[in-house]
Structure formats: C-alpha cells, structure tokens
Structure 1
C-alpha cells in the first residue's frame, strides 16, 4: 500500500503523487488567475476533483466553474484548459481508457 498526505504536498503547479503506478494520480495547485495551457491526455479517462478554491475548467467546447468539493469526469482525448479563479488545488486521476 502507498499513502500520501495531500495537504502536505507542494505541487508547484503539478506533482505526481505516486510514481510509476496506474492510474496516474496528480495534485494541481494554481494561484488565482493562473492556468494550464490547453493540452490533451490521449487514451486517458480523467477524474478532476477540486479540493480547494474555484477552477474554471474548459474541456472541448464546454466550460464550467468548479468549486471546492465538485468533481468532473471527462475523456482526455479532448482539449483541456483549467484556470484558477481563486487560489486552488485539485486532485486529478488519469486512468487508461478501457478500450
């Protein structure tokens, strides 16, 4: 078993929590106004859980503002671009597509 204390991690802005294991589990930490450039995670299914703050998440043609406690699931083959509205932290789980 592997464990981690998410509140003790410093993502700056992204940190993989457990190395070399599937699914990939990452912590994203963004100050207000900062974001991640548009990108994709081909052949992955993504769960995006906002731990703290407020993040505007664009996935493909959809945009939604997620507040702490909100969770989203989407296909990584689409373009993704999160941007923090307030200082924010999110947990991302990227699992291989079942295909």
Structure 2
C-alpha cells in the first residue's frame, strides 16, 4: 500500500496529521514566530523532527538545540519536548513505536 500527501495542502495548525490512522504517526508542525508547544512527552515512541523552513529552539529535558532549515534530530519520546519557533517555521515530525527489546 502506498500513501501520498502534499504537506502544504494539509489542514490543521499547529499540528496536521499527515497519514491519519497509520503508523508511524507523521505530523506537520507549523508554528508562527514566537509560538511554541507546551512541554510534553511521547512515551513508547522514537521521534524524528526535520525542520523544513524557519528556525526552532527545541527544548529536550534540560537541553536546548537551535535548529534551522534542513536540520534533523532524533530522540527518545520519553524525553520532555518543547519546540519554540524563532520565526515562522514548519517541521515534519515522525513518531515511530519503540521496538520491544527482546
């Protein structure tokens, strides 16, 4: 099965679910300058965040990472995440279920 989406056509801000009901969960995050998302976690997930446009200060627990267009970061969803846009920004976020350790 192949699913296809065109990011600019998706409805929903700041979060637009790219492929509803499919795994891995994929979200387009759109933030205006100065807009952020409250600190939260994604337990049981591995998270990849790719900045498409703009710049984001990404809070991860006690760390802050400055990310710009083309930057990509991967982290454990058990960490506390709090993105804040320095300017109008768009990112693609993929939340994959963490594989069971066997």
Q: TM-score, normalised by structure 2?
A: 0.93
2:77 is equivalent to residue 76 of structure 1: yes
Deviation at 1:12, TM superposition (A): 1.1
Alpha-carbon offset, residue 3 of structure 1: 0.2
- The one-character-per-residue Cα deviations of 1:33-64 (angstroms, maximum 9, x if unpaired) are 00000000001000000000000001112111
Is 1:48 the counterpart of 2:64? The answer is: no
Please list every run of at least 4 consecutive aligned residues from structure 1 whose deviation after the TM superposition is greater than 4 angstroms: none
Aligned length: 99
What residue number does 1:61 align with? 62
Q: 1: CA distance between counterparts of 2:25 and 2:13?
A: 17
Stretches of structure 1 that go unaligned for 5 or more consecutive residues are none
Give the CA deviation at 1:94: 0.1
